[in-house]
Amino acid sequence: MLGQHGMKTLEIVYVEAKGRQRVAIADKLERTFLHEFRAFYGSVPKANIQGSRKIELTDEEKYVRLDRVREILRNVSGEDPPE
């Protein structure tokens, strides 16, 4: 992927959420980040198949704090996401 898009470096940010009984928290966290990433950048990350279609949040906001997701995106990008 790096050579294909002319990138020379790749920064990885690991995000984790506290588990909840009978809740697929990793899936909810991924959907929330893809949803907010698309809102922030206009598309999902390149080569991301999971988020290629438009993602609507269902009950993710009960388990994942949107303000924290936006804060992480802002910190990583150095920009403010749209409200």
> pLDDT tens across 7-48, in order?
777 778 888 887 778 888 888 898 899 999 888 888 888 777
Q: Are 63 and 24 in contact (CB under 8 A)?
A: no
**pLDDT value for 77:** 82
Reading phi first (left if > 0) and then psi (alpha if -120 to 50, else beta), residue 45 is in: beta
The torsion angles phi and psi of 75, rounded to 5 degrees, stand at -65, -40
Global pTM value: 0.77
What's the whole-number mean pLDDT along residues 54-83?
A: 83
* Domains of the chain, residue spans: 25-77
